[in-house]
């Protein structure tokens, strides 16, 4: 039998020592193991922990196509290579900037700004540095991937504008999203380097076109090599847009213009669909796809003809004699003249001490309203304007949509100007003079309109007084053809005028083209009755000392207008043509309008029936 110790303190000390020994031994083992991990195997484990990473790569959604009314593709996508940067993997941003500066199409300062912004981004997210890299750049970066950590080539898509500059001012173009755009609340889904619609349909319909991004989560090592796929989310393609524009009409209008500058717009007066929307000069949106160079941008921006200006909605011009349509309707509706009443034109109309001239120096003699519209007599309309007064003129102009935007659905549309005594007092602090009323009566002076407003005006004259908001997009479709949105034109406030007034004015407009004395004879077609109105808008005041043989500088030449519709008895199409510094509307603009009409009616009638009749007279 074991004898128990008579000293309890000694027993506790032995137990404490045993426990302490076990604790020290365990701690020593942990310390040795830790030293092994840190000193002998630290580098290997560091590589395992740091270099095998979960990398998030976005998969950009294919952008929706843009098609014309006949489903011909106007804008598509093509494969391209983007240069991307992953902030966490870049070792030296200064060295990286110097290396990429030799390859990048971006100016050095822009490249450095983008690298600085990317450096502050999410560490493991890839950011686009520039799009559509050249084959040489791709080959160099791929061959030197190990020497340029953090830079990768991503296969994606770039916009392909198949018709180059033919639809540039309606479709627009894309560009890299700006810092200001990124800060907007509804731009949170965008990243640095993403591309976005900048102008035109590409901008206005951005949400439908862009689709939704997908993404990849992959495990990759420090050299950018993929080890395994963790997760994949497929992108949702953007929706296609079907426009009301017809490529064939647009091409015919472009051919008819030649080297001239101006606008041609065609629309269906029955619902506001825009069939042709041509602005010249134009530009190639493909220049912006990979990021436009500074030299190319400067050549476009500094062009004295301003190819980026959307003249159809932003160009402000005096309407010239086209405004006489409004005067005629106002005078008939207000009862200040009858269709049979005649006024005399001697070539001049005196008001106070000043003579207001007619475009025909010899005068037109005595004529009624019908004759005055057909021959575009200025003196006749001076007298109508004086009887109406500026307030009533402004009221009717506003009813027909002048002085306000049409709502065509393109950004940057201007409202134009319908002057009034109140406007002049606020603008210049001066009273309105009666002579200014006479000038406005023939579409000159401070009165300014856009070509698309003239389209709406003439459409309302032909359709009984309905002002439609012109539209360019017919429907929104998925890639499999399912229709999501089918557009319809919004109706504005009706323009109230009697059917009797409409008939009187429409018959006169028909004779502007059909009559031997009409100023629009060059728009005449066999087999299709055309009605219209010519206009010549002065750019500078005429010099009484100038002789007929004097050469007029191009910038001082008048703008040429022609606004028409056909068939005259049941209008299907309205065409408005403006040729900048083109001279007389009947000479320059009317033949272009005729060619557009020929193309429109070509499918229904043999080519030989669409020949033009000779004409020689022009209006003022």
The three-class DSSP label of residue 443 is: coil
| Both structure tokens of 384 | 């109508």
Phi-psi region of 272 (alpha: psi -120 to 50; beta: other; left: phi over 0): left
- Residue for token pair 């003439």: 458
For CA atoms 245, 247, 251, 252, the dihedral sign is negative
Query: At CA 422, angle to CA 420 and CA 426, rounded to 5?
Result: 120
Classify residue 568 by its DSSP letter. Answer: T
Cα(272)–Cα(186) distance, integer angstroms: 31
Residue 449's nearest CA partner among 416, 418, 401 is 416
Cα(391)–Cα(447) distance, integer angstroms: 13
- Residue for token pair 């059909």: 514
Cα(416)–Cα(403) distance, integer angstroms: 5
| Both structure tokens of 38 | 């840190």
Active-site residues: which are they? 321
Helices 390-399 and 378-388 pack at an angle, to 10 degrees, of 100
Residue 173's nearest CA partner among 71, 301, 292, 82 is 292
| Both structure tokens of 578 | 């403006």
| Both structure tokens of 545 | 């000392």
Q: From residue 417, how far is each of 327, 424, 435, 496, 525 by CA, in Å? A: 16, 11, 18, 22, 34
Cα(416)–Cα(55) distance, integer angstroms: 54
The three-class DSSP label of residue 150 is: coil
Cα(475)–Cα(428) distance, integer angstroms: 46
| Both structure tokens of 135 | 């084959």
């Amino acid at each position: 039998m074991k004898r128990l110790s008579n000293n309890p303190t000694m027993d506790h000390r032995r137990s404490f020592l045993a426990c302490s020994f076990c604790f020290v031994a365990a701690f020593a083992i942990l310390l040795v193991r830790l030293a092994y991990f840190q000193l002998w195997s630290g580098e290997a484990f560091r590589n395992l922990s740091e270099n095998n990473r979960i990398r998030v790569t976005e998969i950009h959604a294919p952008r929706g196509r843009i098609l014309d009314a006949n489903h011909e593709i106007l804008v598509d996508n093509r494969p391209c290579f983007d240069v991307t940067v992953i902030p966490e993997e870049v070792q030296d941003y200064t060295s990286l900037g110097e290396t990429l500066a030799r390859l990048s199409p971006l100016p050095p300062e822009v490249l450095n700004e983008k690298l600085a912004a990317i450096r502050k981004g999410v560490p493991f997210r890839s950011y686009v540095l520039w799009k559509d890299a050249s084959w040489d750049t791709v080959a160099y970066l791929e061959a030197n991937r190990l020497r340029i950590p953090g830079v990768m080539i991503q296969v994606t898509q770039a916009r392909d504008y198949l018709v180059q500059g033919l639809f540039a001012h309606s479709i627009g173009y894309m560009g890299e999203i700006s810092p200001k755009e990124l800060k907007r609340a509804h731009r949170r889904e965008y990243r640095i380097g993403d591309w976005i619609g900048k102008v035109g349909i590409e901008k206005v319909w951005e949400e439908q076109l862009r689709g939704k991004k997908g993404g990849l989560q992959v495990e990759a090592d420090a050299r950018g090599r993929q080890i395994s796929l963790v997760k994949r989310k497929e992108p949702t393609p953007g929706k296609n847009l079907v426009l009301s524009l017809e490529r064939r009409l647009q091409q015919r209008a472009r051919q008819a213009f030649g080297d001239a500058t101006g606008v041609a717009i065609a629309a269906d007066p029955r619902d506001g669909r825009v069939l042709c929307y041509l602005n010249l000069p134009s530009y190639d949106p493909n220049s912006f796809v990979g990021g436009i160079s500074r030299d190319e941008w400067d050549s476009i921006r500094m062009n004295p003809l301003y190819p980026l200006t959307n003249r159809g909605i932003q160009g402000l011009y005096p309407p010239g004699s086209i405004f006489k349509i409004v005067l005629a309707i106002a005078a008939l509706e207000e009862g200040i003249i009858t269709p049979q009443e005649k006024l005399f034109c001697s070539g001049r109309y005196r008001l106070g001490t000043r003579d207001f001239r007619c475009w025909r120096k010899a005068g037109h003699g005595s004529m009624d309203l019908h004759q005055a519209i057909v021959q575009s007599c200025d003196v006749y309309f001076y007298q109508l304007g004086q009887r109406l007064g500026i307030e009533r003129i402004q009221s009717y102009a506003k009813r027909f949509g002048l002085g306000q935007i049409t709502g065509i659905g393109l950004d940057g549309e201007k409202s134009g100007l319908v002057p009034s005594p109140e406007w002049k007092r606020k603008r210049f602090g001066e009273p309105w003079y009666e002579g200014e009323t006479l000038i406005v009566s023939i579409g000159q002076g401070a009165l300014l309109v856009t070509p698309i407003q003239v389209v709406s005006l003439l459409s309302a004259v032909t359709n009984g007084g309905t002002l439609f908001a012109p539209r360019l997009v017919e429907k929104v479709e998925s890639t499999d053809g399912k229709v999501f949105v089918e557009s319809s034109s919004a109706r504005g406030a009706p323009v109230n005028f009697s059917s009797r007034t409409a008939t009187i004015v429409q018959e006169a407009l028909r004779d502007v083209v059909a009559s031997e004395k009409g100023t629009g004879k060059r728009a005449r077609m066999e087999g299709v009755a055309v009605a219209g109105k010519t206009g010549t808008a002065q750019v500078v005041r005429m010099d009484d000392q100038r002789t007929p043989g004097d050469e007029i500088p191009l910038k001082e030449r008048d703008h040429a207008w022609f606004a028409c519709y056909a068939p005259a008895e049941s209008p299907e199409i309205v065409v408005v043509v403006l040729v900048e510094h083109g001279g007389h509307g009947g000479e320059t603009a009317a033949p272009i309008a005729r060619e557009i009409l020929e193309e429109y009616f070509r499918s229904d009638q043999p080519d030989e029936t669409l020949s033009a009749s000779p004409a020689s007279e022009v209006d003022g």
